[in-house]
């Protein structure tokens, strides 16, 4: 009964629009078939090498880099809803066409556009959650939304593992159709939540900060650099891990079942772990440091798994625990630290770390796997985990400079003159602090 009470408390108190977004996310992720199996498709079905597969997968990351910045900019300029719907439509069309062409160059181009569409919607989704949910509930909101992502992913990993025996075309078409349904739900059912721009000409206030000024926020960019290391590890599990396991003689069905543990563990533990973290009031430094340690340990131990399915499954469970801690805490932190009218841009720049990792991870992972073997690859992941953990601990224990202030979201407040809120996690640029004084009501 205590578990059900915890689940109920964690799932209540959100606005209706949040649940529409949650439902659209669930539908989309229940058929995320293509990317997890694309490396296997390229190497076993089309006969490309692991290095070539890594290059093709890297084009997804290149598209993601562009999509993160474009999506962040568009979500602040034209709105969250059209950005999300348009991006999902682009991803659906690209995925569908991909299933009908065996040409490697054409697949690489389509993977680029698929990555662009997938990543362009991410900053808008995150910014909309920040728009709709008060600061005190944001970690919980991101956790519940991430829960939907992994309910769908756990389902899709198992189904895709068996669909490939009926033909790879089915995973392309299934992914495309559900992505299209997601776009329709977003366009028809979601309200627009973008904060109204202040009339700067009449009010005498400064314009909201630009993307360039976000990049000049040195403390925030340090956080993004550490996030890049975390994402470099996680993308190995979705791109090179299936190739490595296939090389060790583990079947696609077994990989599907093992990787599905990632979603199953998150489904079972995401809400309880989030409630535990919130109840103990653990700081971001401890949560993010622990997440990096678990991720590094889980991927590092993969190098010792060999052909053991049980050991491989245990490794997935360990790094999944790190993912459970990292994902909602990091997204909520960015939301708290972003200027009200630049939430999309901040989320876009943060998403850029994941997008860059999606370029580098399969490229580096494929090269290391081909030339030095799996043990070297997973040992490298363990080292990255240690460095990221130390970086998070140091960063979040550094005081913000008092000369230019620190910005971020505090509790939602009515419009009116407010003092900037000091936040030790991120130091905003001087322009952002000035905007914070002039626009008020941040949250």
For 45-84, how does the pLDDT look when each residue is reduced to its tens digit (9 = 90+)? 887 887 788 788 878 878 888 888 898 889 888 888 999 9
The rounded mean pLDDT for the chain is: 78
Q: What is the pTM of this model?
A: 0.68
List Cβ neighbours of 372 (8 Å cut-off, separation of 6 or more): none
Task: Summarize the confidence of residues 192-209 as an average pLDDT.
Answer: 58
Least confident range from 371-375, 378-382, 410-414: namely 410-414
Quote the CA–CA distance of 279 and 12 in Å, as a whole number.
16
Quote the CA–CA distance of 355 and 362 in Å, as a whole number.
12
User: Is 5 domain-assigned?
Assistant: no
Q: SS in 3 state form for 278-334? A: HHHCCCHHHHHHHHHHHHHHHHHHHHHCCCCHHHHHHHHHHHHHHHHHHHHHHHHHH
Please check whether residue 319 is in contact with residue 233, taking contact to mean a CB–CB distance below 8 angstroms: yes
pLDDT in the model for residue 95? 92
How many domains are contained in the chain? 1
User: Is 3 domain-assigned?
Assistant: no
Quote the CA–CA distance of 443 and 172 in Å, as a whole number.
40
Q: 3-state DSSP call for residue 91?
A: helix
Selection from 56, 70, 61 nearest residue 109 by Cα: 56
pLDDT in the model for residue 355? 74
Alpha carbon 295 to its chain centroid, in Å, reads 15
Please check whether residue 367 is in contact with residue 76, taking contact to mean a CB–CB distance below 8 angstroms: no
Quote the CA–CA distance of 239 and 363 in Å, as a whole number.
10
The dihedrals phi and psi of 428, each to the nearest 5 degrees, come to -80, 155
pLDDT tens-place string over residues 299-320: 999 989 888 899 999 999 999 9
pLDDT at 42 over 70: yes
pLDDT in the model for residue 434? 29
Quote the CA–CA distance of 66 and 27 in Å, as a whole number.
25
pLDDT at 437 over 50: no
Least confident range from 79-83, 225-229, 275-279: namely 275-279
pLDDT in the model for residue 50? 77
Least confident range from 103-117, 144-158, 333-347, 423-437: namely 423-437
User: Is 389 domain-assigned?
Assistant: yes
pLDDT in the model for residue 380? 93
Selection from 180, 62, 68, 183 nearest residue 122 by Cα: 68
Q: 3-state DSSP call for residue 181?
A: helix
Task: Summarize the confidence of residues 369-397 as an average pLDDT.
Answer: 90
User: Is 4 domain-assigned?
Assistant: no
pLDDT at 415 over 50: no
Quote the CA–CA distance of 161 and 422 in Å, as a whole number.
49
pLDDT in the model for residue 41? 84
Which region holds residue 105: left if phi is over 0, alpha if psi is between -120 and 50, else beta?
A: alpha
User: Is 149 domain-assigned?
Assistant: yes
pLDDT at 426 over 90: no
Tokens standing for residue 252: 């696609």
Query: Sorting pLDDT into bands at 50, 70 and 90, what band is 280?
Result: low
CA distances, 147 to each of 107, 400, 408 (Å): 31, 33, 26
Share of residues in the chain with pLDDT > 90 (%):
19
Tokens standing for residue 334: 């960015």
pLDDT at 134 over 90: no
The position carrying tokens 């920040």 is: 130
User: Is 319 domain-assigned?
Assistant: yes
pLDDT in the model for residue 140? 80
pLDDT in the model for residue 4? 63
Task: Summarize the confidence of residues 389-409 as an average pLDDT.
Answer: 62
Quote the CA–CA distance of 220 and 206 in Å, as a whole number.
21
Task: Summarize the confidence of residues 309-335 as an average pLDDT.
Answer: 87
pLDDT in the model for residue 416? 35
Q: Of 50 and 386, which is predicted with more confidence?
A: 386
The residue segments making up the domain with residue 155 are: 16-192+208-439
Selection from 130, 159, 155 nearest residue 142 by Cα: 130
pLDDT in the model for residue 57? 80
Q: Of 155 and 404, which is predicted with more confidence?
A: 155
Q: Of 443 and 374, which is predicted with more confidence?
A: 374
Selection from 48, 360, 116, 129 nearest residue 235 by Cα: 360
pLDDT in the model for residue 399? 61
User: Is 178 domain-assigned?
Assistant: yes
pLDDT at 433 over 70: no
Please check whether residue 136 is in contact with residue 230, taking contact to mean a CB–CB distance below 8 angstroms: no
User: Is 7 domain-assigned?
Assistant: no
Q: Of 333 and 369, which is predicted with more confidence?
A: 369
pLDDT in the model for residue 410? 38
pLDDT at 201 over 50: no
For residue 19, with 0-12 CB atoms within 10 Å meaning exposed, 13-18 middle and 19 or more buried, which class applies? middle
pLDDT in the model for residue 228? 92
The DSSP element (H or E) to which 8 belongs, if any, is helix 2-11
Query: Sorting pLDDT into bands at 50, 70 and 90, what band is 337?
Result: low
For the chain, how many residues are written? 443
What is the full DSSP assignment across 30-58? TT--HHHHHHHIIIIIS---HHHHHHHHH
At 84, which CATH number? Answer: 1.20.1250.20
pLDDT tens-place string over residues 281-299: 667 778 889 999 999 999 9
pLDDT at 387 over 90: yes
Query: Sorting pLDDT into bands at 50, 70 and 90, what band is 400?
Result: low
pLDDT in the model for residue 112? 93
375 CB neighbour count, 10 Å cutoff: 13
pLDDT in the model for residue 165? 76
The position carrying tokens 């653990």 is: 282
Quote the CA–CA distance of 359 and 268 in Å, as a whole number.
31
Quote the CA–CA distance of 109 and 375 in Å, as a whole number.
32
């Amino acid at each position: 009964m205590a578990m059900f009470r915890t689940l109920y408390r964690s799932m209540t108190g959100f606005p209706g629009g949040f649940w529409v977004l949650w439902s659209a996310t669930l539908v989309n992720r229940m058929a995320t078939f293509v990317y997890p199996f694309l490396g296997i498709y390229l190497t076993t079905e089309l006969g490309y090498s692991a290095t070539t597969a890594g290059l093709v997968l890297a084009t997804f990351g290149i598209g993601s880099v562009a999509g993160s910045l474009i999506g962040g900019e568009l979500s602040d300029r034209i709105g969250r809803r059209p950005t999300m719907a348009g991006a999902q439509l682009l991803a659906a069309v690209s995925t569908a066409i991909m299933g009908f062409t065996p040409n490697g160059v054409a697949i690489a181009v389509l993977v680029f556009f698929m990555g662009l569409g997938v990543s362009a919607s991410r900053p808008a989704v995150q910014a909309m959650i920040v728009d709709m949910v008060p600061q005190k509930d944001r970690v919980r909101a991101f956790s519940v939304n991430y829960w939907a992502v992994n309910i769908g992913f756990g389902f899709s990993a198992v189904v895709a593992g068996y669909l490939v025996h009926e033909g790879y075309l089915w995973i392309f078409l299934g992914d495309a159709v559900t992505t299209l349904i997601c776009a329709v739900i977003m366009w028809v059912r979601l309200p627009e939540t973008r904060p109204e721009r202040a009339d700067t000409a009449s009010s005498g206030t400064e314009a909201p900060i630009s993307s360039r000024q976000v990049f000049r926020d040195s403390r925030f960019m340090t956080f993004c650099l550490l996030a890049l290391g975390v994402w470099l590890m996680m993308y190995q599990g979705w791109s090179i891990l299936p190739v490595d396991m296939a090389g060790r003689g583990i079947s696609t069905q077994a990989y599907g079942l093992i990787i599905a543990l990632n979603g199953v563990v998150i489904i079972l533990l995401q809400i309880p772990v989030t409630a535990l973290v919130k109840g103990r009031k653990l700081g971001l430094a401890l949560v993010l440091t622990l997440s990096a340690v678990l991720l590094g340990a889980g991927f590092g131990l993969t190098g010792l798994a060999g052909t053991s399915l049980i050991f491989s499954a245990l490794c997935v469970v360990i790094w999944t625990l790190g993912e459970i801690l990292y994902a909602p805490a990091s997204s909520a932190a960015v939301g708290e630290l972003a200027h009200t009218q630049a939430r999309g841009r901040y989320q876009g720049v943060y998403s850029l770390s994941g997008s860059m990792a999606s370029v580098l991870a399969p490229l580096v992972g494929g090269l290391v796997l081909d030339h030095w073997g799996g043990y070297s690859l997973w040992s490298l992941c363990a080292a990255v985990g240690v460095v990221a953990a130390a970086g998070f601990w140091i960063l979040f224990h550094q005081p913000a400079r008092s000369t230019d202030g620190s910005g971020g979201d505090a509790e939602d407040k009515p419009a009116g003159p407010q003092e900037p809120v000091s936040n030790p996690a991120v130091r905003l640029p001087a322009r952002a602090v000035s905007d914070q004084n002039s626009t008020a009501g941040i949250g």
